[in-house]
DNA sequence: ATAATTGTTGAATAATCATTCAACAATTAT
DNA sequence: ATAATTGTTGAATGATTATTCAACAATTAT
């Protein structure tokens, strides 16, 4: 028995996510969020709590979307190696189609060391992507597509850790040839 | 014909560097700098110009120190492969001995996309480390220690880009076994 | 229709931000 | 000794920060 919200919570959270993603946590002001979300401060605080909670929700939204993207890319291939390659190519492709570096990677460096909530979430989420890859790598080793002499867990960690480099190289050099050469070396290293 | 400064400019710049390195640009306030550098605002502005200029100088100081560290690590070995391995091990070791992620990597994500001066400097500095590695890799290929089928420039880029992942993994997992396994896979991939 | 509840609005708040500057101190050339 | 120059000090500045709240609007149960 009360008034209804006049906006779509998820849609406006998406606007906040885009802004935090682009500018980072500290460089994003509440005024920036008020403008981007097209909401008054009162509505933001009433719905999301405050800047920090809004940021955490934004990161969670981003992170879930990203994980789905990687899993979808993998699902298009029947062979485990094909799936692993698809995930690696997805990462490189994303770094050139999206005009900003991966929010998870950015946040790992801007926030994870200073904010425990961010740290815990990113750790869990990154571990999830690693597990997904580890499973694919084990399947590929069983089918003979992937080097069976290397530890699947280590290879999964190597792949995920390489993604941070993809984004950094894109930010600094914006050189497709360089980035694709790097991703090819990564793929080579597991086969 | 005037009064002399009562402090060592380089030493105080080092204090600023440590603070920017730890907290990043946006999370570091002028008050934080006044406290850490043990200087009044007037002295900071009179000597360094302002927050942004002070940050750029801090990053340059950090960057030069880091490059020297890598070159020194490489200089201890006679063989090119030994030098390349030493640089990779230096990166992994640094990620566990220093209590904060590489300032260049952090800045690539927090600042490089928003500040052209930072971007230009990091691009140049990263390219320099790559060139140094590329040269070692070519020598290693000539002496038969390093895989001659792979492009030295691409391998150099792959190595440097991997460093960002080293730091991210350290921040998120702080797991020595994982990090050393990753660095071993990187070394394997070039031999 | 009324009371109760929830949402919206945007001005107000108090803290913090980067930066400036006037007063004073030290050094040096003349 | 004086003038000129540079450095130090720390309070003052005005802008921006995140957050709150009182007034008003909409919805629903009774």
Residue A26 DSSP class: T
Average pLDDT over residues A116-137: 98
CB-strand contact B7/D, under 7 Å: yes
Nucleotide D5's nearest residue (CA vs C1') is B2
DSSP labels, B20-52:
HHHH-STT--HHHHHHHHT--HHHHHHHH-SHH
- For the stretch B100-113, pLDDT in tens is 999 999 999 999 99
Look at A154 and B119 and tell me if their CB atoms are within 8 Å. no
pLDDT in tens, B54-113: 999 999 999 999 999 999 999 999 999 999 999 999 999 999 999 899 999 999 999 999
pLDDT at A2: 85
- Is some CB atom of chain A closer than 8 A to the CB atom of B158? yes
**Above pLDDT 90, what percent of chain A?**
98
Q: Could you report the per-residue pLDDT of A15-26, keeping only the tens digit for each?
A: 999 999 999 999
Distance CA A62, CA A147 (A): 33
Write down the pTM of the prediction. 0.95
What tens digit of pLDDT does each residue of A145-176 get? 999 999 999 999 999 999 999 999 999 999 99
Q: What is the DSSP letter of A7?
A: S
- Picking from B131, B121, B138, B123, the residue whose alpha carbon sits closest to that of residue B71 is B131
- Residue B80: what pLDDT? 97
Q: What's the CA–C1' distance between B82 and D19, in Å? A: 57
pLDDT value for B1: 64
pLDDT over 90 (residue A1): no
Distance B106 CA to D27 C1' (A): 49
B119-162 tens-digit pLDDT:
999 999 999 999 999 999 999 999 999 999 999 999 999 999 99
Is any atom of nucleic acid chain D found less than 7 Å from the CB of residue B42? yes
Q: Cβ within 7 Å of strand C: which of B 38-67?
A: 41-42, 45, 50-52
The pLDDT confidence band at residue B2, using thresholds 50, 70 and 90, is confident
């Amino acid at each position: 028995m009360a008034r209804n919200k006049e906006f779509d919570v998820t849609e406006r959270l998406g606007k906040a996510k885009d802004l935090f993603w682009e500018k980072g946590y500290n460089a994003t002001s509440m005024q920036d969020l008020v403008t981007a979300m097209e909401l008054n401060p009162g509505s933001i605080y009433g719905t999301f709590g405050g800047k920090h909670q809004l940021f955490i929700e934004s990161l969670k939204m981003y992170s879930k979307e990203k994980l789905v993207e990687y899993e979808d890319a993998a699902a298009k291939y029947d062979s485990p190696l094909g799936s692993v390659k698809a995930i690696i190519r997805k990462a490189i492709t994303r770094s050139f189609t999206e005009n900003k570096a991966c929010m998870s990677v950015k946040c790992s460096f801007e926030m994870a060391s200073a904010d425990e909530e961010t740290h815990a979430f990113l750790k869990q989420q990154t571990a999830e992507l690693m597990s997904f890859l580890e499973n694919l790598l084990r399947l590929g080793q069983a089918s003979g597509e992937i080097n069976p002499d290397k530890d699947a867990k280590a290879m999964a960690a190597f792949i995920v850790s390489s993604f941070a480099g993809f984004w950094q190289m894109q930010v600094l050099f914006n050189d497709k040839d360089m980035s694709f050469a790097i991703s090819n070396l990564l793929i080579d290293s597991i086969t």
